[in-house]
Structure 1
Amino acid sequence: MKFAFRSLLALLLASPFFLSLFNADAQVTATAPLGESPQYTNRWDFYGGVQYSHFNPSPARSFPANNLLGWNGTATAYFRPLWGIEGSFRGLYGTIDVPVNQYGITNPKMSEYLWLFGPTFRLLRRENYAAGLHVAIGAAYGNFSKDLPSGISPNQIDVYNDKLAFGSAVGGWADYNLSPRLAVRLITDWQPTHYGYKTQSEFAGSVGVVYKIGSLHK
């Protein structure tokens, strides 16, 4: 129930940006217009880019959130110009700012990987740009012990233990088309995970390139 509420809240927060794009053209509709532009008749698109996440690796209030950087690889199969199913694989890396502790540990390294799947909706489709929303769920794996001394577990310094956990992403994306086959994409997501007994409300973003192949007409 909490997840559904937060997902709805994230969509509502993201909607003003995308509605402002829709209002820029009074002729925009949620269905494909007659004579769909070649930019949106592809069967597949493949995205690769840099990924960012703002993440707190501890349930303790004394811990600051840290910034993670990495990569995002996403493949989408379109069934109509309006919608498709995407699979996203994300890798993130950074260090943990550990408060003063008896072990003398300060900035151990950590990593996080996410495997996410779900629908994407290409709501706005114009010759030079497009925008849409997506919702994906799956798994996240956090490795918080990789840089700790032997015999010390993450929970001894108030950090989550290594775990395969629930992961998801709710957000939007915008494309700028360089050609019918190539575009630059910006993605912004609320990316919640569930390590330990708490939900981590991560903000995530990505910038990269999309390559489109195949045809819906074949």
Structure 2
Amino acid sequence: MALALWLAPALVCAQTTTQQQPDQQTEQQPAQTQTQTAPSTEIPATEGTQERAEVLRQAQLRVKARRKLRVQQIIQDTYTHKYETYFGGGYLRFRPGSTLQHINEGGWNVGVTDYLKGKIGVTADFRGYYGTTWTYINQYQIFSPSISQYTFMAGPTVRFFEGQHWGWSGHVLAGVGHGNFDTGTGGLPASYIGLYSNGNSVNVTAGASVDYNLGPGLAIRLTPNYLMTRYGSETQNNLGFTSGIVYRFGRQ
């Protein structure tokens, strides 16, 4: 009897330990199951990210396509006009006499272009230049007479680049010019003080124009150019530029 009482606590402890082990195993199994199933949730998340990235990429492509079409429409609206007219001012570096120094002349410029076929057109151009010369000491006491000259030219114009904001073109024009070199001499013949005599001259010009488009029918133009004149049986090679406004009309 005493032996049974002594062994009873040991049996109760063993039974308690045996019951706890299955409970611990039961608790560990859900934790392991959660740990094993966790990686499977990353696959849908990755697929969702890829789908969102693809949707954004397609949206960007559509925006770019619409922008490209809009730019093409603007270019077409700008350069399908048949006529251009332009006006503004100009500058020319000119030698008024074979023994005199170059002077600066300022003036006006106006013209019109008819685009007969695509990028090829015909231009008529009119200019006037005005300046003051510096002559050497002379017995007539005329040292800074004013002069003027006018040009009337025509020829082909070609567009080289047609963009939304910028356009480039070039032209070669030929015609006739007229020089008034005794405007400020008080009736004295201009040749007496080293100036060329009044008269007509062959004129040839070549220039390259840069247009900045303010809209399909309006632009600002800058044209550096070369102008050849022949006064006094001599050739004058003159450099300058014109600038002004271009107005387009007659859309085809």
TM-score normalised to structure 1 length? 0.80
**Secondary structure, aligned partner of 1:156:** helix
Identity of aligned residues (%): 32
Deviations 1:154-198 (A, max 9, x none): 111111000111011112101000000000000111100001111
Corresponding residue for 1:47? 86
**Secondary structure, aligned partner of 1:148:** coil
> In the alignment, is residue 167 of structure 1 matched against residue 203 of structure 2?
yes
Deviations 1:134-163 (A, max 9, x none): 00000110100111123x211111110001
Q: How far 1:35 sits from its partner (Å)?
A: 9.6
Deviations 1:116-140 (A, max 9, x none): 1000111111111100110000011
How many angstroms apart in 1 are the aligned matches of 2:103 and 2:148?
12
Aligned with 2:124 (options 81, 87, 99):
87
Deviations 1:63-119 (A, max 9, x none): 110000010001000113311000000011111111111111111011010001000
Gaps of 5+ in 1: 1-32
Count of residue pairs the alignment pairs up: 181
Where do 4+ consecutive residues of structure 1 move more than 3 Å?
A: 33-36
How many angstroms apart in 2 are the aligned matches of 1:120 and 1:201?
21
Native 8 Å contact 1:37 1:127 kept in 2: no
Higher helix share goes to which structure?
2
How many angstroms apart in 1 are the aligned matches of 2:152 and 2:164?
31
Corresponding residue for 1:118? 155
Superposed CA RMSD: 1.5
Q: How far 1:38 sits from its partner (Å)?
A: 1.2
Deviations 1:33-59 (A, max 9, x none): 999621110110110111110000001
Gaps of 5+ in 2: 1-71
How many angstroms apart in 2 are the aligned matches of 1:36 and 1:196?
47
Which of the two has higher C-alpha Rg? Answer: 2
> In the alignment, is residue 130 of structure 1 matched against residue 167 of structure 2?
yes
